[in-house]
Amino acid sequence: MSDVVFSFPGKIGDAILQFPVAYQWHKQTGKTFSCWLDETSLKPLERLFSIQPCVGGVEFKAGIEHYMCGGQPWHFNLQTADYAGKTVYHLGFRGFPQRQITLETAENAKLPVKIDMKALATEPCFVLPAESPPPLRLVLHGQPICPHTRCTPGFWKFLSSIAPEVEHLFDEVLFVGKERDCEVGVRTYPEWGRFDDGGDLANVAQLIANSTCVIGCGSSMAALASVLKVPTIRVHDPIGNASKTVWSGLGDNQLNDTEVELRRSWPEFRERWLKPVVAPAEESLA
């Protein structure tokens, strides 16, 4: 185990969006770090984190009492003895984020290095095996009910509006997530497939890293795609009065819009990020 620790007390999507900060620390120092993860919410991240060259070990910690703001208490309420011989950077939120989660984390962590903001926005932070040649694959993640609005997520209406284009643009379309997340999609679009990650996000991370595009609701899958720097559309549903920017991905190829906003932004996204990939593949088959 490394004597430098980054702690992740929250939910999966938060932890994924926080990890790039720890990765950029590793890049600048050349050192590995250990990860302390909330034992209740972050088990699916164990292998994804532990196989990274920058990670020296993963431990699970108790102490989180509620998830009203990421995970609280943000420092796990650890005892002084728990820190013996270690330098610990807590990445949890002390209050509700006022900016995009990765940027909020970089600001609050107070690391003894200067974070390269361009690298934070453009460099994938997870190392995963590559497929060759890369497939023309679209990964989809929806939920039956939005947990914040208790209504049908806007993802499904947007997907319905672009389904004919999806058929033309991609050779493979896969739904990911838990069985209940995939049920609506598999029933509505039986010609598309489903990828079962077995509860291990390292599996779906490799799939996403080797995909052309990801479209998802506001969830951990969209967060994962965003830090892998795969072109991603996050179909935003209101989360209280909070700005949607809090959950945006960093980088030009990351789009975070409501279903209504996507009626205007989808064509531009498609032309800029998908057509340049799809057109050469179609020409090679001609």
Query: How many other CB atoms sit within 10 Å of the CB of residue 114?
Result: 8
CB 154 within 8 A of CB 258: yes
Classify residue 25: in a domain, yes or no: yes
The range of the structural domain enclosing residue 108 comes to 4-122
Asked if the model's pLDDT at residue 286 lies above 60, the reply is no
pLDDT digits (tens, 9 = 90+) for 180-218: 999 999 999 999 999 999 999 999 999 999 999 999 998
Classify residue 192: in a domain, yes or no: yes
In this structure, are 170 and 92 located in the same domain?
A: no
Per-residue burial over 11-50, b = 16 or more CB atoms within 10 Å of its CB, e = otherwise: bbbbbbbbbbbbbbbbeeeeebbbbbbbeebbebbbebbe
In this structure, are 102 and 152 located in the same domain?
A: no
Beta strands of 39-134 (E only): which ranges? 55-61, 87-90
In this structure, are 115 and 160 located in the same domain?
A: no
In this structure, are 162 and 256 located in the same domain?
A: yes
In this structure, are 95 and 174 located in the same domain?
A: no
- Specify the DSSP class assigned to residue 53: T
The SS3 call for residue 87 is strand
What's the CATH code of the domain at 200? 3.40.50.2000
In this structure, are 147 and 281 located in the same domain?
A: yes
Classify residue 129: in a domain, yes or no: no
Please state, in angstroms and rounded to a whole number, the distance separating the CA atoms of residues 150 and 276. 37
Classify residue 21: in a domain, yes or no: yes
Classify residue 127: in a domain, yes or no: no
In this structure, are 99 and 152 located in the same domain?
A: no
pLDDT digits (tens, 9 = 90+) for 210-242: 999 999 998 899 999 999 999 999 999 998 888
Locus of tokens 């080797």 = 210
pTM: 0.94
